[in-house]
């Protein structure tokens, strides 16, 4: 179910979800900084959960880290 939330968030931005779930979606150029924030907001709205943004921004923002963050909630 959590990957569905992330897929929906990427679709809301009209961006493809990367095949490699471990790459940084910001540093790879897939999303710019505003789009990363929009993606996080979309995930929060879809999941009804609040993500720990400070923790997410401490490392690479990847699909895998987003999945892990959702699973911890």
The domain locations on the chain are 2-72
Residue 1, pLDDT above cutoff 80 = no
pLDDT in tens, 2-34: 899 999 999 999 999 999 999 999 999 999 999
Per-residue pLDDT, averaged over 57-64, amounts to 93
Nearest Cα to 15, choosing from 37, 34, 35, 42? 35
Q: What is the DSSP string of the chain?
A: -HHHHHHHHHHHTT-PPPSSTTS-TTTTSSS-HHHHHHHHHHHHHHHT----HHHHHTS---HHHHHHHHHH-
Contact 17, 7 (CB under 8 A): yes
Per-residue pLDDT, averaged over 36-55, amounts to 94
Residue 64, pLDDT above cutoff 80 = yes
Instruction: Return d(Cα 63, Cα 25) in angstroms, integer.
Output: 8
- Residue 38: its pLDDT value, please? 97
Q: pTM, whole model, 2 decimals?
A: 0.91
């Amino acid at each position: 179910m959590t990957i569905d939330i992330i897929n929906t968030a990427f679709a809301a931005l009209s961006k493809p979800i990367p095949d490699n779930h471990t790459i940084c979606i910001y540093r790879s150029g897939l999303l710019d900084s505003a789009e990363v924030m929009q993606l996080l907001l979309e995930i929060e709205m879809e999941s009804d959960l609040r993500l720990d943004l400070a923790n997410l921004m401490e490392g690479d923002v990847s699909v895998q880290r987003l999945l892990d963050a959702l699973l911890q909630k």
